[in-house]
Amino acid sequence: MGCDDVKRIIYFFLDGTLAETKRLDISKHLTLCPECETRIRIQKRLRDFVLRRLAPVPAPQHLKIRLSRSLRAMVVGLL
C-alpha cells in the first residue's frame, strides 16, 4: 500500500468501515511512513472536532417547554 492508497481510503479508515485486511495494511504503512501517520492524525482530530460540533445536543425538557410557552406567548402577542 502506498501513500496515494492511504489518502484515498483515509476516511473509511477513520470511519471504521474499512475491511480488516485494508486496515492492517494502513497500520503497517503508518509505522513506516511518518507523513501518512501525521496526515491521519490531523484528519482524525479534524473529524473528531467536526463530529463533536455536529452532534445534536438534546435540549432539556424544561427548556423545551419554556421555549414553546414563550413562543406561544409571542405569537399570541403578535395577533
Q: Which residues bind Zn ion (CB under 5 A)?
A: 3, 33, 36
* CA 62 – CA 78 distance, rounded (Å): 24
Q: 3-15 vs 20-32: helix axis angle to the nearest 10?
A: 130
Question: Nearer Cβ to Zn ion, position 35 or 66?
Answer: 35
Least distance CB 25 / Zn ion (angstroms): 11
| φ, ψ at 16 (rounded to 5°) | 80, 15
Least distance CB 19 / Zn ion (angstroms): 19
Question: Nearer Cβ to Zn ion, position 3 or 73?
Answer: 3
* CA 39 – CA 15 distance, rounded (Å): 15
Question: Nearer Cβ to Zn ion, position 18 or 33?
Answer: 33
Least distance CB 13 / Zn ion (angstroms): 12
